[in-house]
Structure 1
Amino acid sequence: MSRTTALLRRHRTWTVLGVVFIAALVLTTVLQLQPRGDRTPLSTRNAAPDGARAAAEILGRHGVAVEQQDSLDATLRALDAARRAGEGTTVLLYDRNGYLSRDQLQYLGGATDRLVVITPRLNTLQGITGGILQAGVVKDGTKVLAQDCIIPDPAAAGAVTAKNGFLYDGEVVCYAPQGGQGGLYAGSEDGRTVVLGSTEIVSNGALAEEGNAALVLRSLGAEPHLVWYLPGISDVPATKQPVTLAELAAPWTHVLGPWLAFVAVLAIFWRGRRLGPLVFEPLPVVVKAVETAEGRARLYHDAGAVDRATEVLRAGTLVRLARILRLGPDAGAAAIIDAAGRHLGRTPEEIGSVLNAAPRAEAELVRWAQQLDRLEKEVHTR
């Protein structure tokens, strides 16, 4: 037996630990040096099903220079460089978190030749030109929508997938569902602003289905330069710092405050009493939310507070309807009623007659609550 073998056997515990440590160190270093994939939805560097790497590569093969940016400043610099080079530009905007303000959106729309927006929110629609409005969602179970217009791009692309899509209404509309209002494709008459109501059309997972690739190529490849803009948190406009309590206080409080503190300390020593030992008591039991709601309902019933119960039911229904119709937390009652009417194919007066009812007795309140429940289920299922 050699001396080295005997030494390793004698210190085999430390030898095994050293080998494990070195192996872990090497593995960690290799993993850190490997490039990390981009998992951002609709990113041109994301090869996952929800990414858009395939669309960017197809556009590049057809001569379109695709450039992804994640800030407004970088996007505007890219547009300015393309303008100085004499190249037309298209901007794809996918602001899924609603970071951009109305002024930023208007400035961006004026700086590019063509703006293609993917599933915009209400505040995003208010900032872009073209008069495009939300018109609801594609019904569950609808997988494909056929083109029903003479707009060049959709007419050449044909049918597209419509799963989890949103509907929009504008000066020109295409891919409208049967019996519905708006379409999966909406834009302005001059073609400078286009809204696509589905991320599936652009994503890697569904790009090869139906006419998705053709619609993406024609909508995004109209100009030789494409800026793929995914706004980030750095694009949120900086707001003014809130006023501090010291700034709101009057000048004389700087003298009165310390004096009052000194008087309070004297009062504590004057009137304070020695407290006994701490007594530990069990914490209150946890009350379920449904029990709290039932308890409040009993209080309203015992007090005969029909008006108060009416306002609570109306406010809760409006909040849930706004969430179902994707109107955002700042939507008013009139906007929710109008959107619900468009979604159900009814007039706003018909929807408003239900939501704005004012029951005076408990029996009327029960019947009205049942009407609200039926209305909310109808909006949710359609």
Structure 2
Amino acid sequence: MATRKSGWVRRHRGLAILSSVVAVGLALGIWNQLAPKGDSETLSLANAGPNGSRAVGEILGRHGVEVHQAGDFETAMEALANSDYPTLLLYDRSGFLSGEQLSELADSAVRIVVVTPRLATLSALTGSGAPEDATTPNIRQAGVVPDGMPVLEPGCPLPDAVAAGPVSGDAGFTYDGGTTCYRPQGAAGGMLAVSDDERLTVLGSTTILGNRHLAEHGNAALALRTLGTSEDLVWYLPSLADLEPSGAPTSLAELRPKWVPYLGPWLLIVALAAIVWRGRRNGPLVFEPLPVVVKAVETAEGRARLYHDARALGQARDNLRAGTLVRLSGKLRLGPEATDAQAIEALARLLGRPADRIRTLINEHPGTEARLVAWAQELDQLEKEVRNT
């Protein structure tokens, strides 16, 4: 009985392999769909990865700050409305918010901490939200932190910056206007800018708030002192859902369906399964002769007609000369490594003729078809003389 089962397995080995591949693929697909999805968004409070901000949220919570993460504009506005003295952290990396939405946020928040804002975001925030008798904040972009400055000193009288001390300057942006701190040497602005009325704070680095570098230098202290001034902090990361009807996604990657990344592995599995299935069934490749044998003379005549139609005198002359030298070298037993000059010298000695005359004949360049035909006949006559010698 065992022998019969093992024989069945050997006969259906391809089917067994195909079934195993399909089963493994289905298991991986189901597991990927059912497994809990981790948050990988930059500066997300739920992201425990290097670019997340879970550590900052936990530190703020231990210091009595209630942090509300908002995933869309309506949730952020509701959280601001339910707080007496709210601070808003805004990180609109892709520029999803419109000018009207930014103005509403500025009017609803007592303080705004905006991280690496775009020009449009910064323009909307600095042009709204201030009382009529106050000076409008005028913070503007000034450049980037040079690569050779991984650590920046406060360099300003701002109490929060002085207490925090040096911070990481990697991949940072600089801003000018108001009170600027952490200014790179020779730069026009600093990585931290605070408006004169202290309602708007611009932080030009996500590194300071990220989990990976939070414990380095004074990053944690600056984050706590900048974001922990009020009991309520609304942590708002705009998303694609915040686009107004007239807006448009910033890239094609945001429009693609969620199943597109899994299409490639599935196609690979299907291709491998087809190879295993059809490859063994079709068997190895075998040689099958053509039903028609084309004679060499017909091939030569066909090529000659092509040269004639194209008036390719040079190509025809080169082929005739090369063929003649190859055949003569074989008859003179010179070997494949013999040069044209050696073949001509050997031919002259065999026929007792001057080498210059033979060289002139072989290297002639016929200018007309009639001369090409005559020259080919002379080469043929030369080969006949060698055979008869």
Alignment partner, residue 261 of structure 1: none
Show CA shifts across 1:293-339 (max 9, x none).
xxxxxxxxxxxxxxxxxxxxxxxxxxxxxxxxxxxxxxxxxxxxxxx
Choose which of 96, 100, 104 in structure 2 pairs with 1:103.
Answer: 100
When residues 150 and 36 of structure 1 are mapped into structure 2, their CA distance, relative to the original with a 3 A threshold, is: same
Return the offset for 1:6.
Answer: 6.4
Amino acid at match of 1:92: L
- Aligned to 2:205, the other structure's residue is in SS state coil
Alignment partner, residue 62 of structure 2: 61
Which residues of 2 match residues 40-79 of structure 1 at below 5 A?
40-79=41-80
Choose which of 240, 243, 246 in structure 2 pairs with 1:239.
Answer: 246
Show CA shifts across 1:115-159 (max 9, x none).
100111111111113221122222231111111222221111111
When residues 184 and 8 of structure 1 are mapped into structure 2, their CA distance, relative to the original with a 3 A threshold, is: same
> Counterparts of 2:216 and 2:187 in 1: how far apart (Å)?
23
Alignment partner, residue 352 of structure 1: none
Matched, 1:141 2:142: no
Return the offset for 1:70.
Answer: 2.7
When residues 155 and 21 of structure 1 are mapped into structure 2, their CA distance, relative to the original with a 3 A threshold, is: same
Matched, 1:115 2:116: no
Which residues of 2 match residues 1-382 of structure 1 at below 5 A?
1=1, 5=5, 9=9, 12-13=12-13, 14-81=15-82, 83=83, 86=84, 88-129=85-126, 130-239=137-246
Gaps of 5+ in 1: 241-382
Amino acid at match of 2:67: V
Return the offset for 1:237.
Answer: 3.1
Is the 1:168–1:182 Cα contact (8 Å) retained in structure 2?
Answer: yes
When residues 3 and 79 of structure 1 are mapped into structure 2, their CA distance, relative to the original with a 3 A threshold, is: farther
> Counterparts of 1:127 and 1:111 in 2: how far apart (Å)?
14
> Counterparts of 2:8 and 2:190 in 1: how far apart (Å)?
75
Alignment partner, residue 327 of structure 1: none
Amino acid at match of 1:59: L
Q: CA RMSD of the aligned region, Å?
A: 2.4
When residues 20 and 103 of structure 1 are mapped into structure 2, their CA distance, relative to the original with a 3 A threshold, is: closer
Larger of the two Rg values belongs to structure: 2
> Counterparts of 1:23 and 1:182 in 2: how far apart (Å)?
56
- Aligned to 2:235, the other structure's residue is in SS state strand
Alignment partner, residue 300 of structure 2: none
Is the 1:38–1:45 Cα contact (8 Å) retained in structure 2?
Answer: yes
Amino acid at match of 1:230: L
Return the offset for 1:3.
Answer: 9.8
> Counterparts of 1:62 and 1:12 in 2: how far apart (Å)?
67
Is the 1:8–1:15 Cα contact (8 Å) retained in structure 2?
Answer: no
Return the offset for 1:12.
Answer: 4.6
When residues 22 and 170 of structure 1 are mapped into structure 2, their CA distance, relative to the original with a 3 A threshold, is: same
Is the 1:145–1:177 Cα contact (8 Å) retained in structure 2?
Answer: yes
Show CA shifts across 1:224-270 (max 9, x none).
22221111233233339xxxxxxxxxxxxxxxxxxxxxxxxxxxxxx
> Counterparts of 2:178 and 2:18 in 1: how far apart (Å)?
71
> Counterparts of 1:55 and 1:119 in 2: how far apart (Å)?
17
Return the offset for 1:49.
Answer: 2.2
- Aligned to 1:178, the other structure's residue is in SS state coil
Q: How many residues align?
A: 236
> Counterparts of 1:54 and 1:123 in 2: how far apart (Å)?
30
When residues 144 and 5 of structure 1 are mapped into structure 2, their CA distance, relative to the original with a 3 A threshold, is: same
Return the offset for 1:16.
Answer: 4.8
Is the 1:44–1:52 Cα contact (8 Å) retained in structure 2?
Answer: yes
> Counterparts of 2:234 and 2:214 in 1: how far apart (Å)?
19
Is the 1:148–1:176 Cα contact (8 Å) retained in structure 2?
Answer: yes
> Counterparts of 2:9 and 2:146 in 1: how far apart (Å)?
71
When residues 66 and 7 of structure 1 are mapped into structure 2, their CA distance, relative to the original with a 3 A threshold, is: farther
> Counterparts of 2:110 and 2:97 in 1: how far apart (Å)?
19
When residues 153 and 2 of structure 1 are mapped into structure 2, their CA distance, relative to the original with a 3 A threshold, is: same
Return the offset for 1:186.
Answer: 0.6
When residues 150 and 28 of structure 1 are mapped into structure 2, their CA distance, relative to the original with a 3 A threshold, is: same
Return the offset for 1:222.
Answer: 1.6
- Aligned to 1:135, the other structure's residue is in SS state strand
> Counterparts of 1:24 and 1:101 in 2: how far apart (Å)?
44
> Counterparts of 2:7 and 2:64 in 1: how far apart (Å)?
67
> Counterparts of 1:6 and 1:175 in 2: how far apart (Å)?
75
> Counterparts of 2:194 and 2:238 in 1: how far apart (Å)?
21
- Aligned to 1:168, the other structure's residue is in SS state strand
The TM-score with structure 1 as length reference comes to 0.56
Amino acid at match of 2:181: C
- Aligned to 2:186, the other structure's residue is in SS state coil
When residues 145 and 6 of structure 1 are mapped into structure 2, their CA distance, relative to the original with a 3 A threshold, is: closer
